[in-house]
Structure 1
C-alpha cells in the first residue's frame, strides 16, 4: 500500500482499498452513494472482534465495520473479500456504475461481496484513542487475524462455510490479501494482490528511481529538468533572504519558516510530493472514489517542465506546484507547515484529531512493521534533501521508537511473510511499470500458481479501477488475465 507516511496533508486515505502506501490524497465523501441510486446497493454492518487475537487471557472486544452487497450473488457462488487499508473504507468500491474490476468479476462469477475496514482506521476503533500504548494492537498480523475471524463467523452465519473465498486488495491491502492466503490457506481459497509491496524495507530509495524512469519515458529531458529545478530550490532555501520569494513562487499559505534541518527536509519532501504522487497515480481512473486529484498526469508535469516560456526549470517546477494546488487539489494555496507543527498534529491521539483518519496510525505501522521511507539517498533520482536519517528520526520523535527497534520490526515482517520469496498457491500479483511500488512487489512469476502480471505503462492499482475506452490494451488484457485465473482457481479444490 500512496506514502511518505509522516507527511500527511489531509485526513482521507489516498486509495482504499488500494490505499497505496505513500500519501494521503483528499477525497470528497459527500456523495459515496452512486449517482442515480436513491438507496445504496450495499449494506453497512458490524462484527465483534477481539482486541488481541494472540492473547487468550485478554477478553476485550470491539466492533469492526464492513459493507456487503448481494447484487450479483448466485447460490453456490464464491465470496469476494475486499480488504480495507490505511483509511476509511470508501463506498465507491461497492458502486455498480461504474463498477470497479472486482465487481465486474463478481457479476460474471455470481459472487457475494464484502468489504472490511482495517482496525484503527475509519469508524473501526478498537480502543478509545490512538495513544502509543493502544497502537500496539495495530499490526498486519492482528488485521489478518481479524479477517480470519470475519471469514469464520460470517461463513457460519450465512451458510458459506463451504464456499470459496477470494481476497482482494491493492497496495498495503494487496499485501494483506497475499498474506491472508499465505497464513490462512484453509480459509482463503485465492487472492488478487494488486500493487502489493511484499518486501518491507527501511530505505525505499528505489521509489524515486522509478519516478525518474517514469518521467523519462514521457520525455528524456523531463527528469533532468526536475533535477535542475530541485537543485536550485535546495540552494535557494539555504538563504533566509530567499524565503519571501520561495513563498510567493510556490504559493505557500504562509511565509516559509526554516528553523531546523528537519524543517528544510519537511518542506522539500512536501514540494517533491507533488510530482511523486502524480507519477504514482498517473492516469488512473479514480473518479468513482471521488478523488479530487485525478487529471494531473506525467504528461502535465513534463509539459510544464519543458515550457521555456515559464522561465528556468526552478520557475517551471514552481508553476507546476501552483497549477496542481489550485486546479487539481482545488486549494487556494499550498499548505506549508513546519516540521514541529506537523509533529504536534501527528502526536494528537484523538480519532478526531488532524491525522486521526489514518495519518498517525499509518505512521506507526511504517515505524514498527514496514519502513517504506521514500528517501533521496539514491543518485538516480531527481530530488534531494530528505534522506533516511530524516525519516528514521521521525519514528523516535512520534513514538519514541529507536532506529534499532525500527530495523528489528522490518526484519521480523520479512521473516514472517517471506518478502519476495513468498511461498503459497493461487495468488496473482498485478503491478504497473510506472508505479514506484512495483519495486517492492512480485513482477516476475514465481510459479504457475504464483503468477505476476506486469503491466507496461500503468500506475498504482490501475487494474483495480473501472474499465474505460481509453485504457491501454495491456491493461485490458491484465484484467482479463485475472478473471481467467479466478475462473480456473475457483474450479480447484
Structure 2
C-alpha cells in the first residue's frame, strides 16, 4: 500500500521487544499493512517484447439490468507458453495497478510453461487505469465491491472464452492476498466458469478488528523537535488530537507492515524500486547496535524507507491525510489505490490492524481510530461497518467456505494467514501451509 506514517514514539521497552522479534524471526512475525481490456484478443507481446495493455468493454453495474452503462477495463495477455488445447490461467488484479511484471515473471508462469497455458491478467475495477466512473466520489464508489469485481471476472471469462474459442478449456484463477480471496470466491460463486483456483494468502474471513500488529507510545511534547529531526518529518510534529498521534504511529509501524506483507515478492521485476528491502534487511537494521539504541535504529528504518522511495521528508499530519483521502479526482494523491482500498475495508472487509492487543511491540492506533476514518471519509458508521463485514462472511462463507478444486496456500511469515485457511477443509479444498520459507505449489491435481 501507499507509504504512510504514524505519530507516536515507541517506548524503550516496546522497541526492545521489536528488536527481539527481529532477532528471533522464524516465520511468526506479526506485522502487516492495510491492506499493499479486450480489443482484438491478439498477442500482447510486441516484437520488442514490451507488454501491451488491452481493453475490455465491461458493464458498470452487473446487478441492474436497467443500467446499460459500460467502461473500459485493462487486461494483459501472454501467449508465450500456450499450446493448443492447453488451459487458461487468469491472474486476478487487486488493490493497486495491475503490474505487467507479473506477466513475465512468477511461479504461475512456471506452471504455465509446464501445462502450455494461455495467461491473462485482469485489472480490478477502480484501480490502476481501470476507471469505471468519472471520479472517486462516494456516490461512484458504490460500484466498487468484491461482488462487482467477481462479476467483472465472470463477464470477461465468458466473452474472451467465446471470442477466442476457449470455452472448452480449463480456466484456473490465480491471486494473492485480496486477489487470493477473489480467486477462491470466483470458484465458489461461478463454478461453471472456472475449473480451479489457487488462492494464495487469501484472507477469506472478514473481521472488523485484527489487533495482532505493531505499536508505540507518545512521549513528552518536549521531545517533538528531536522526533521531527530523527524521522525527517516535513514539519514539526504536532499532536493536537488522538487521530494525529494514531496516524503518526501507524505510519511508522507501516514500514514493517509493508515489508512483511510483500517480502521478496515480484515487485523486484522490471526495476521496481524498494524491492531490496526485505524482512532480513529491516531486522538487520533493528539488530545493528552500532546505529545506537533501539529508538535510533527505528528512526534508521524510517529513513531507509524514505531513501528507497525517494521521499524528501515524511508528512505526518493527519489533516493532510484526510484531505488526500477525500479528494475524489482520479489525479488525487490517494487515487493510486489507497483511497479505494480503505473504502472497501469500510464497506466490506474491515481487516483493520489495530494495537488493541497487548501481544505486540507497538501501540497508539486502536480500532476506534480506524473506525472513525470510515465515518470521516465515507460517512460509514461503526454499526454499518460491522453489518457490512457480517454480510460479507454470510455471502462468501468466511472460514466455512465450501466448494471444490480451490488450493489455499499460506505461509507462516505472512501475517494474513490468520484470516486464511491453513488446514484442509476437504480433499477438494486443500490447504498448503508453508512454515518459514516459500516453496513451489504442485498443481498436477487441479
SS of the equivalent of 2:98 reads coil
Deviation, 1:6, is 10
- Aligned match of 1:488: 445
Determine if the alignment matches structure 1 residue 402 to structure 2 residue 381: yes
**SS of 1:137 mapped into structure 2:** coil
1:425 maps to 2:404 = yes
1:453 Cα deviation from its structure 2 partner: 1.1
Q: Which has the higher contact order (CA 8 A, sep 6+)?
A: 2
Partner residue in 1 for 2:261: 280
Alignment of 1:84-483 (within 5 A): 84-95=93-104, 99-206=105-212, 208=213, 230=216, 234-236=217-219, 239-284=220-265, 286-288=267-269, 290-326=271-307, 328-333=308-313, 335-458=314-437, 475-476=438-439, 479=440, 481-482=441-442
- Distance in 1 (alpha carbons) for counterparts of 2:198 and 2:399: 16
Q: Secondary structure at the match of 2:445?
A: helix
| C-alpha deviation, 1:123, in angstroms | 1.3
4+ long deviations beyond 4 Å: 2-7
Distance in 2 between residues matched to 1:59 and 1:323, nearest whole Å: 49
The match for 1:22 is 34
Counterparts of 1:74 and 1:363, CA distance in 2:
41
Residues 385-409 of structure 1, C-alpha deviations (whole Å, 9 max, x = no match): 0000000000000011111111110
Whether contact under 8 Å (1:43, 1:69) holds in the other structure is no
In structure 2, distance between residues paired with 1:49 and 1:6: 36
What CA deviation, in whole Å up to 9, does each residue of 1:394-426 have, x standing for no partner? 000001111111111000000100111110010
Task: State the distance in 1 between where 2:427 and 2:34 align.
Answer: 31
Q: 1:374 to 1:299 in 2, by over 3 A?
A: same
1:63 is aligned to: 72
- Taking a change above 3 Å as real, the CA distance of residues 315 and 44 of structure 1, as seen in their structure-2 partners, is closer
Contact 2:324 2:334 in 1 (8 A): yes
Q: Deviations over 1:462-493 (max 9, x none)?
A: xxxxxxxxxxxxx33xx1x33xx3x332xxxx
Deviation at 1:86, TM superposition (A): 1.1
Alignment check: 8 A CA contact 1:5 1:362 kept? no
The 1-side partners of 2:173 and 2:252 are apart by 36
Offset at residue 307 of structure 1 (A): 3.3
When normalised by structure 1's length, the TM-score is 0.80
**Matched-pair contact (CA < 8 Å) for 1:5–1:359:** no
8 Å contact from structure 2 (residues 423, 431) kept in 1? yes
Partner of 2:9: none
**Count of residue pairs brought into register by the alignment:** 414
**CA distance in 2 between partners of 1:163 and 1:170 (Å):** 23
Q: Deviations over 1:205-241 (max 9, x none)?
A: 13x1xx7xxxxxxxxxxxxxxx7xx4xxx242xx332
SS at structure 2 position matched to 1:352? coil
Offset at residue 144 of structure 1 (A) = 0.3
Deviates more, 1:244-253 or 1:195-204: 244-253
Q: What is aligned with 2:16?
A: none
Deviation at 1:59, TM superposition (A): 1.3
> Structure 1 regions of 5+ residues with no counterpart?
8-19, 25-32, 212-226, 459-474
Question: 1:5 touches 1:21 (CA, 8 Å); kept in 2?
Answer: no
Counterpart in the other structure of 1:217? none
Partner of 2:60: 51
Match of 2:27 in 1: none
CA 1:290/1:369 → structure 2, altered by over 3 Å: closer, same or farther?
Answer: farther
**How high is the TM-score relative to the length of structure 2?**
0.88
Displacement after TM superposition at 1:430 (Å) = 1.1
Equivalent residues of 2:196, 2:406 under 8 A apart: yes
Instruction: Tell me the SS of whatever aligns to 2:142.
Output: helix
Report the secondary structure of 2:53's partner residue.
strand
Two-structure CA RMSD over aligned residues (Å): 2.2
| Alpha-carbon distance, 1:300 to partner | 2.9
Cα drift, residue 356 of structure 1:
1.1
* Contact map agreement 2:243 2:369 (CA 8 A) in 1: yes
Report Cα offsets for 1:350-403 as digits up to 9, x if no partner: 111111121111111010001111000111011000000000000000011111
Q: Does the CA-based 8 Å contact 2:33-2:353 persist in structure 1?
A: no
